[in-house]
């Protein structure tokens, strides 16, 4: 991910704390986030709100680099946050980096 | 072992449908070879009319592309007409010498257009209307010639005439009868039809007989002379005067034919190795010429080819529609009426609407509708069900929508719906959106519509309506052909194949399955992963790894997700029985966790709705009760009635029976949810008649019913058997459920499974074969043995991270 040096990174957890092909919820005043871990141990973070009707994406099934919303099965691309065709909409992305097995998040 | 050889002659609609049905049942039983005289793979013959009318293209009406045959390992011989069946050697021979040996032979040669034996019938420019070739000839002729004559005022003739007119020709329809479509309409309706076709510029010559077709200077047909001497110009003559079953080949092989290849109710010819389906067949003296009955035949025939041997075709009641855009007519049954019948009629000639219903002995026996056919499907249903109409009678003419909300299956609503009317309530999809998607994206199946519009993708109760919209767009009488039977886009394998591979190769993990079966995606998708997970754990209990990440959130979290992301908690309450201490704890939990709603469910227990995910584990702990599995493709409830302990009618202790069953089945995963009920007498207060397994106590023992469903499509359970003891109730119902667990496809409820294999099959495995029953029962007990209650396991710390949110320190 392409970040400016000034991005304030905060430590979140170890990669191991997120289940593979699963996710964890990050509680936050301004709306929860969902952090996902793929089979290849790539980590992504999205606002935990489906662009359809606000379903909690963190509770969905993760496959490839996609999560399927648990409420009405929209497929959301983890890389872009965008809903896959034929649906339209976008969940906000948050920058994530992994260093030495630890996950850092930028809430900026 | 070498596979048996199945050869099919005739690559048309009925034959290929039979293969599709067969592959669904037994994908690997046969090496299949298909001979087709036409150069095309199987296409939708019905839609030749829209092709002629310029509303669709030939490409769009292909049902099974060549790749379908390849994917199913079917050897396909196109453009090869079979000319001989050698029943002694069991081989068929094609025109070019190609031979194929068979163990079973399927003849599906369709029919041939009848050609009037009149002078000039062989002239260039004189054709029939049967296949793509004919249609293309008509399209070409319309580009160069002016005058078309269609002989025959039946459905086919009128559709041909309409198409040629739309392509700019000057068209006359000649008909020998007193009115058009005399086999489908009464005179009043036919006159209305004729009038609106005349308004579109078609000309008619009724009660006229053709004497001769006359050639012009080029040798091509140029005129038609009637018996009365009148002559009209004709550069193209289409004969649509009827069809004859194509029995030539069968007759030459010595098979008994009588206006069609004579078959039994199992679609078998007089040679037991040879089956036949389609228009070439004569069943109980009737040769059918519409696809709906032929598809029923296909299903029965497939059942026999699959060696289940229990399907029976008993004939069909037909209905017809005309596929001329903008003209609505519908007829079914005995619409002419006569001796002993009554007619209800509604006639509004100015408005172009005419309806006639024929009633005999309080039953609807015929219907003929013109102008407003919205209720055609409903009338047809009443007709087939053959049930007394009783008090419906007063309103019947005004249609189903007039009866309040009985039309929940949407049988007849689609046609009359506005584009802005909602079809799918779950996803808020209206008719216009669906029609647009079908047209623009060339959708063909309900599955396609689901994917592109989301309609019918949730609760599914509007599937019937979606099917109808699809039908209205694609042509009448059209039935959906199940094209994509693969589990999902990640693979070409269907459920049966995946299950078999897991069993035969002892695959134990998701990765094994995806590698072995060459999945296209690295780790599946939200559709296939839960299915594969179920197949793994049900095939290899105690060995395969149950993967929580492959389970839908409810089953992963062991609670039911709600629209706002909170969860519901339903503790187990065996047989619906509780006590003061449990109720007190439930009340305390409701207070402590500020549960927004406490509700008695339809399943005889209590639901705490609106619990936060992070509270779940402590709620379970405080409740001190087991999981009710109200969230899973799993055992749900065993409902009971009070039974002999208290009820004055009770014959057995149904409550205890229910508790015992619920205890036995605790923690059982299944292809879909499983619900049981035990009633203490035939008054059936526990509603056993609509349960997956329903048990009704009688004086002398217990009656077992299976395959009931109270959900989307209510289905009454079928009687399985009667047993004497409570121990037998457990063994028989356990064996049935294990059979379902081992053989049903994921997300099929018992009713769907039974529909696929038939009750007789289940009886053979569970009732008649005692050893097999015991083995099934033991396998069930083995898979359930030692499974922990999931709530208790989580209280002890299993899957801890699932319930604890992360926090960031700002
Ligand atoms: C809680 C309950 C309604 C109630 O308040 O009474 C209920 C609630 C739901 N039912 Fe039900 N059903 C409930 C009894 C029933 C019954 C009646 C019964 O069990 O006797 C039926 C008809 C009987 C049957 O299944 O044959 C029923 C037929 C359905 C169906 C249609 C199933 C079908 O095969 O046609 C669905 C949809 C599905 O499962 O795919 C469904 C799905 C649902 C879901 C799980 C929808 C979902 O996926 O979120 C609902 C969860 C609500 C929630 O947010 O918690 N519910 N549902 C009932 C729980 C019973 C229990 O104690 O376990
Ligand atoms: C223009 C048109 C419109 C129609 N509209 C409707 C409608 O709206 N609703 C409806 O229900 N029905 C309609 N039908 C009728 C419907 O198409 C037929 O009932 C159905 O196609 C019959 O299926 P089948 O498999 O028996 O025969 P077919 O589909 O005709 O298949 C038989 C195949 O066998 C091949 N064959 C024959 N002999 C041999 C041989 N010796 N060797 C190799 N191959 C051979 C033929 O070439 C043909 O391809 C319509 C038909 C036509 C022509
Ligand atoms: S509880 Fe059942 S019937 Fe009620 S809205 Fe939910 S799914 Fe529909
Ligand atoms: S809220 Fe996510 S699909 Fe509807």
B363-391 tens-digit pLDDT: 999 999 888 777 777 788 788 878 788 77
Taking the C-alpha atoms of residue B694 and residue B703, their distance in angstroms, rounded to an integer, is: 8
With a 6 Å cutoff on the Cβ, whether A52 touches ligand 4 is yes
With a 6 Å cutoff on the Cβ, whether B602 touches ligand 1 is yes
Q: What is the pLDDT of residue B479?
A: 40
User: Collapsing DSSP states into helix, strand and coil, what is residue B643?
Assistant: helix
pTM (2 d.p.): 0.55
User: Collapsing DSSP states into helix, strand and coil, what is residue B705?
Assistant: strand
Give ipTM to 2 decimals: 0.67
Q: Where are the domains of chain B?
A: 4-111+245-305, 126-241, 495-551, 633-788
User: Within a 13 Å sphere around the CA of A24, how many CA atoms are in the beta-carbon half?
Assistant: 23
Enter the DSSP assignment of B253. T
Quote the tokens at residue B468. Answer: 């109808």
Confidence of residue B93 (pLDDT cuts 50, 70, 90): very high
In CATH, the architecture of B4-111+245-305 is: 3-Layer(bba) Sandwich (3.50)
B330-363 tens-digit pLDDT: 888 888 888 888 888 888 877 788 999 999 988 9
To which residue do tokens 């705490």 refer?
A: B608
B296, exposed or middle or buried, with CB in 10 Å at 0-12, 13-18, 19+?
Answer: buried
Inter-CA distances, B56 with B52, B163, B440, B472, B481, Å: 8, 12, 12, 14, 18
Enter the DSSP assignment of B764. I
B527-538 tens-digit pLDDT: 999 999 999 999
Q: Which residue of A has its CA nearest to B566?
A: A56
* Whether A26 and B522 lie within 8 Å, measured CB to CB: no
Reply yes or no on whether the pLDDT at A4 is more than 60.
no
Reply yes or no on whether the pLDDT at B476 is more than 50.
no
Q: B613 to chain A: which residues are within 8 Å by CB?
A: 25
B126-166 tens-digit pLDDT: 999 999 999 999 999 999 999 999 999 999 999 999 999 99
Which helix (H) or strand (E) segment holds residue B360: the answer is strand B353-360
CATH fold of the domain at B126-241:
FAD/NAD(P)-binding domain (3.50.50)
Q: What is the pLDDT of residue B427?
A: 65
B618-636 tens-digit pLDDT: 999 999 999 999 999 999 9
Reply yes or no on whether the pLDDT at A55 is more than 90.
yes
Question: Going by CA atoms, what residue is nearest to atom 4 of ligand 4?
Answer: A72
Which residues fall within 8 angstroms of residue B176, CB to CB, at 6 or more apart? B207, B208, B209
Q: What is the pLDDT of residue B413?
A: 61
- Average pLDDT for residues B724-753, to the nearest whole number? 95
Residues spanned by the domain of A56: 29-106
On whether residue A44 sits in a domain, the answer given is yes
* Whether A25 and B452 lie within 8 Å, measured CB to CB: no
Which helix (H) or strand (E) segment holds residue B160: the answer is helix B155-166
CATH number of the domain bearing residue A79: 2.102.10.10
Taking the C-alpha atoms of residue B768 and residue B774, their distance in angstroms, rounded to an integer, is: 11
CATH fold of the domain at B633-788:
Sulfite Reductase Hemoprotein; domain 1 (3.30.413)
On whether residue A100 sits in a domain, the answer given is yes
User: Collapsing DSSP states into helix, strand and coil, what is residue A33?
Assistant: strand
* Whether A10 and B810 lie within 8 Å, measured CB to CB: yes
Q: What is the pLDDT of residue B1?
A: 65
Quote the tokens at residue B300. Answer: 């029965």
Number of domains in chain A: 1
Q: What is the pLDDT of residue B130?
A: 96
**Ligand 4: which of A61, A67, A72 to mutate, judged by most atoms within 8 Å of the beta carbon?**
A72
Question: Going by CA atoms, what residue is nearest to atom 43 of ligand 1?
Answer: B631
B581-593 tens-digit pLDDT: 999 999 999 999 9
Q: What is the pLDDT of residue B461?
A: 55
Enter the DSSP assignment of B715. B
B102-128 tens-digit pLDDT: 999 999 999 999 999 999 999 999 999
Same fold, B4-111+245-305 and B126-241: yes
B219-233 tens-digit pLDDT: 999 999 999 999 999
Å from B435 to nearest chain A CA?
15
* Whether A107 and B453 lie within 8 Å, measured CB to CB: no
Reply yes or no on whether the pLDDT at B302 is more than 60.
yes
Taking the C-alpha atoms of residue B674 and residue B680, their distance in angstroms, rounded to an integer, is: 20
Question: Going by CA atoms, what residue is nearest to atom 38 of ligand 1?
Answer: B459
* Contact predicate A84/A33, CB 8 Å: no
Quote the tokens at residue B16. Answer: 């290929």
Which residues fall within 8 angstroms of residue B249, CB to CB, at 6 or more apart? B9, B82, B83, B84, B85, B107, B109
């Amino acid at each position: 991910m392409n970040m400016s040096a000034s991005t304030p990174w905060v430590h979140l957890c170890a990669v191991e704390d997120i289940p593979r092909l699963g996710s964890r919820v990050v509680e936050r005043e301004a709306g929860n986030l969902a952090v996902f871990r793929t089979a290849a141990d790539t980590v992504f973070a999205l606002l935990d709100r489906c662009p359809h009707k606000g379903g909690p994406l963190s509770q969905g099934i993760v496959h490839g680099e996609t999560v399927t919303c648990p409420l009405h099965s929209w497929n959301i691309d983890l890389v872009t946050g965008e809903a896959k065709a034929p649906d339209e909409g976008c969940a906000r992305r948050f920058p994530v980096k992994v260093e030495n097995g630890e996950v850092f998040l930028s809430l900026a | 072992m070498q596979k048996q050889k199945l050869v099919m002659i005739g690559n048309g609609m009925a034959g290929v449908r039979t293969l599709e049905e067969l592959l669904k049942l037994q994908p690997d039983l046969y090496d299949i070879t298909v001979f087709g005289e036409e150069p095309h793979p199987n296409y939708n013959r019905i839609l030749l009319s829209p092709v002629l009318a310029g509303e669709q293209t030939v490409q769009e009406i292909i049902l099974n592309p060549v790749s379908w045959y390849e994917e199913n390992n079917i050897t396909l011989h196109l453009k090869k007409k079979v000319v001989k069946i050698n029943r002694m050697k069991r081989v068929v021979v094609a025109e070019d010498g190609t031979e194929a040996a068979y163990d079973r032979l399927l003849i599906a040669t369709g029919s041939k257009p009848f050609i009037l034996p009149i002078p000039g019938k062989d002239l260039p420019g004189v054709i029939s209307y049967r296949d793509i070739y004919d249609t293309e000839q008509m399209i070409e002729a319309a580009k160069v010639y002016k005058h078309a004559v269609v002989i025959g005022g039946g459905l086919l003739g009128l559709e041909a005439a309409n198409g040629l007119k739309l392509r700019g020709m000057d068209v006359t329809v000649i008909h020998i009868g007193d009115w058009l479509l005399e086999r489908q309409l009464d005179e009043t309706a036919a006159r209305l039809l004729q009038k609106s076709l005349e308004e579109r510029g078609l000309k008619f010559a009724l009660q006229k007989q053709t004497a001769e077709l006359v050639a012009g200077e080029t040798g091509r047909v140029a005129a038609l002379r009637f018996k009365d001497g009148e002559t009209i110009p004709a550069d193209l003559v289409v004969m649509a005067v009827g069809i004859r079953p194509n029995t030539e080949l069968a007759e030459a092989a010595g098979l008994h034919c009588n206006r069609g290849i004579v078959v039994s109710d199992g679609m078998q010819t007089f040679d037991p190795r040879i089956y036949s389906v389609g228009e070439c067949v004569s069943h109980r003296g009737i040769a059918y010429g519409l696809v709906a009955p032929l598809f029923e035949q296909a299903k029965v025939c497939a059942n026999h080819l699959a060696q289940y041997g229990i399907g029976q075709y008993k004939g069909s009641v037909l209905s017809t529609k005309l596929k001329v855009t903008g003209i609505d007519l519908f007829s079914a049954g005995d619409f002419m009426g006569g001796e002993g019948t009554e007619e209800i009629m509604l006639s509004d000639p100015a408005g172009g609407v005419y309806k006639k219903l024929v009633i005999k002995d309080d039953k609807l026996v015929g219907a003929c509708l013109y102008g407003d056919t919205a209720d055609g499907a409903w009338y047809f249903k009443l007709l087939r069900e053959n049930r007394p109409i009783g008090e419906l009678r007063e309103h019947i003419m005004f249609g189903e929508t007039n009866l309040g909300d009985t039309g929940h299956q949407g049988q007849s609503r689609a046609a009359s719906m506005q584009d802005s009317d909602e079809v799918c309530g779950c996803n808020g999809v209206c008719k216009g959106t669906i029609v647009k998607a079908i047209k623009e994206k060339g959708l063909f199946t309900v599955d396609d519509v689901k994917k592109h519009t989301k309609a019918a993708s949730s609760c599914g109760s509007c599937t019937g309506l979606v099917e109808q919209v699809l039908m209205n767009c694609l042509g009448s009488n059209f039935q959906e052909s199940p094209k994509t039977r693969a589990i999902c886009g990640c693979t070409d394998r269907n459920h049966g194949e995946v299950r078999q591979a897991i069993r035969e190769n002892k695959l134990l993990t998701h990765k094994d399955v995806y590698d072995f079966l060459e999945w296209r995606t690295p780790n599946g998708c939200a559709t296939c992963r839960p299915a594969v997970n179920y197949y793994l754990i049900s095939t290899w209990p105690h060995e395969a790894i149950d993967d929580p990440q492959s389970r839908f959130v409810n089953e992963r979290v062991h609670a039911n997700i709600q629209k706002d992301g909170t969860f519901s908690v339903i503790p187990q309450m065996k047989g619906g029985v509780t006590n003061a201490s449990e109720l007190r704890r439930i009340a305390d939990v409701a207070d402590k966790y500020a549960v927004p709603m406490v509700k008695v469910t339809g399943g005889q227990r209590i639901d705490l709705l609106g619990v936060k995910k992070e509270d779940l584990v402590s709620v379970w702990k405080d409740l001190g009760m087991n999981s009710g599995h109200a969230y899973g493709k799993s055992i749900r409830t065993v409902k009971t009635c009070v039974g002999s302990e208290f009820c004055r009618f009770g014959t057995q202790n149904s409550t205890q029976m229910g508790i015992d069953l619920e205890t036995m089945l605790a923690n059982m995963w299944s292809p879909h949810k499983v619900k049981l009920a035990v009633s203490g007498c035939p008054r059936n207060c526990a509603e056993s008649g609509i349960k997956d397994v329903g048990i009704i106590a009688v004086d002398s023992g217990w009656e077992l019913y299976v395959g009931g469903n109270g959900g989307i499509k209510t289905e009454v359970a079928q009687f399985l058997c009667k047993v004497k003891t409570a121990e037998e109730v457990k063994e028989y119902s356990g064996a049935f459920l294990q059979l379902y667990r081992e053989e049903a496809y994921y997300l099929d409820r018992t009713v769907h499974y039974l529909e696929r294999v038939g009750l007789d099959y289940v009886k053979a495995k569970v009732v008649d074969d005692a050893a097999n029953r015991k083995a099934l029962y033991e396998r069930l007990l083995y898979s359930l043995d030692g499974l922990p209650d999931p709530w208790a396991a989580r209280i002890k710390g299993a899957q801890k991270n699932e319930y604890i949110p992360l926090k960031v320190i700002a």
